[in-house]
């Protein structure tokens, strides 16, 4: 049977359950993404030794409101904060204001204050006019160790190589492969237990965007798909464990972990990144910490 012709602006769901958005939906994603990025820009100066992760989250809560946005994470599956703040060997979903696991056995810090040399991921998701903007990036408190900076550089480059693979006709396996082959070539590991996701008018939609894979496998990318790429990279082994709070994911071997996340859309010729930093500070200013 003949199907009616589709115009390019007609919404559609692929056989893999992935929504194809018309061109006019890109504007809402750019707006939401920019607000997430502006918030991540604005808190950069707060990340310093002695500052509590709960203080940073409180400021993020204010910034979300001031922007006229809604936090996507407050109330999400019982989560109660406007950000996730993941320090050192916390892989993702670190709870702001909670004691930071130290990496020594089950020991935790007496408070939530950052210390000199900590590496910190802050992840913010906002809803603006119904559209979701989801981004995270790395920050450093004080002066981190050279191996920590190398981890941050490799993780950022991994995300950028994943994004570079985004174009119609490529596959999700191509994205995963671009990330995995680069990271493993740097003798670091890609976390398997968490992945990127489709988003749009919903927070987490198909597909699962794996940060590892084989070229040519997985769903084929089409113009109008919106999703995140958010690789988590460990200095040691890839295995993770979720703490008793049921959120905080840590590396099992307690090695350092880093993550960067962008929300992107597939265009006719490639991609657009929705969560670009207006101040151009997505990647931390390592020269400012005396690292360059
Ligand atoms: N922003 C995270 C992501 O990248 C999800 C956080 S869910 C929360 O998908 F509840 F932990 F905040
Ligand atoms: Co995400
Ligand atoms: Co996120």
The sign of the CA dihedral 278, 279, 280, 283 is negative
Where residue 1 falls among pLDDT bands split at 50, 70, 90? low
Q: What is the pLDDT of residues 273-287, one digit of tens each?
A: 999 999 999 999 877
Go through the chain and tell me how many residues it has: 292
Instruction: Report the C-alpha gap between 162 and 156 in whole angstroms.
Output: 10
Q: What is the pLDDT of residues 30-70, one digit of tens each?
A: 999 999 999 999 999 999 999 999 999 999 999 999 999 99
Residue 6 has pLDDT above 80, yes or no: no
pLDDT of res. 96? 98
pLDDT of res. 222? 98
pLDDT of res. 105? 59
Residue 4 has pLDDT above 70, yes or no: no
For residue 259, what are the contacts with CB-CB under 8 A and spacing of at least 6? Answer: 86, 91, 92, 121, 123, 136, 138, 155, 230, 231, 232, 233
Instruction: Report the C-alpha gap between 258 and 275 in whole angstroms.
Output: 18
Q: Rounded mean pLDDT of 190-214? A: 98
- 99 close to 4: Cβ distance less than 8 angstroms: no
pLDDT of res. 75? 98
User: Which amino acid residue places its CA nearest to atom 7 of ligand 1?
Assistant: 73
Instruction: Quickly count helices (H) and strands (E) in the chain.
Output: 4, 17
Nearest CA among 156, 159, 114, 122 for reference residue 139: 122
Residue 73 C-alpha to ligand 1 middle, in angstroms? Answer: 6
Q: What is the pLDDT of residues 99-156, one digit of tens each?
A: 888 776 556 788 899 999 999 999 999 999 999 999 999 999 999 999 999 999 999 9
Q: What is the pLDDT of residues 182-199, one digit of tens each?
A: 999 999 999 999 999 999
Query: Coil, strand or helix: which one is 255?
Result: coil
Beta strand residue intervals within the chain, DSSP E: 12-13, 19-20, 70-71, 83-87, 90-92, 119-128, 131-140, 189-190, 196-198, 205-209, 226-229, 232-234, 240-242, 249-251, 257-259, 262-266, 271-273
User: What is the maximum alpha-carbon separation in the chain?
Assistant: 68
Determine if ligand 1 sits within 6 Å of the CB of residue 263. Answer: no
Residue 204 C-alpha to ligand 1 middle, in angstroms? Answer: 9
Proximal ligand: closest to the CA of 84? 1
Determine if ligand 1 sits within 6 Å of the CB of residue 57. Answer: no
Q: Which atom of ligand 1 is nearest to the CA of 124?
A: 1
pLDDT of res. 5? 53
pLDDT of res. 9? 58
Where residue 3 falls among pLDDT bands split at 50, 70, 90? low
């Amino acid at each position: 049977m003949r199907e009616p012709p589709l115009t390019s602006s007609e919404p559609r769901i692929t056989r893999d359950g992935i929504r194809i958005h018309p061109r006019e939906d890109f504007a809402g994603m750019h707006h939401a993404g920019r607000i997430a990025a502006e918030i991540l820009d604005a808190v950069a100066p707060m990340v310093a030794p002695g500052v509590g992760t709960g203080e940073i989250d409180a400021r993020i809560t204010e910034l979300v409101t001031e922007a006229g946005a809604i936090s996507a994470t407050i109330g999400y599956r019982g989560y109660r904060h406007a950000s996730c703040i993941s320090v050192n060997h916390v892989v993702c979903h670190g709870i702001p204001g909670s004691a930071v696991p130290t990496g020594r056995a089950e020991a935790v810090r007496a408070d939530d204050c950052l210390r000199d040399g900590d590496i910190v991921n802050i992840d913010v998701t906002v809803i603006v006019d119904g559209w979701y903007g989801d981004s995270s990036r790395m920050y450093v408190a004080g002066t981190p160790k050279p191996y920590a900076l190398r981890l941050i550089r490799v993780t950022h480059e991994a995300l950028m190589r994943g994004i570079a693979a985004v174009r119609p006709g490529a596959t999700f396996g191509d994205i995963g492969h671009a990330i995995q082959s680069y990271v493993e070539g740097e003798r670091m590991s890609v976390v398997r237990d968490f992945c990127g996701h489709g988003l749009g008018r919903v927070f987490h939609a198909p597909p699962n965007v794996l940060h590892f894979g084989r070229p040519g496998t997985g769903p084929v990318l089409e113009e109008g798909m919106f999703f995140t790429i958010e690789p988590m990279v460990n200095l040691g082994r890839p295995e993770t464990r979720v703490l008793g709070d049921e959120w905080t994911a840590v590396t099992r071997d307690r090695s350092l972990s880093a993550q960067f996340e962008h929300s992107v859309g597939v265009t006719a010729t490639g991609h657009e990144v929705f969560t670009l930093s207006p101040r151009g500070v997505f990647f931390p200013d390592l020269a400012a910490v005396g690292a360059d």
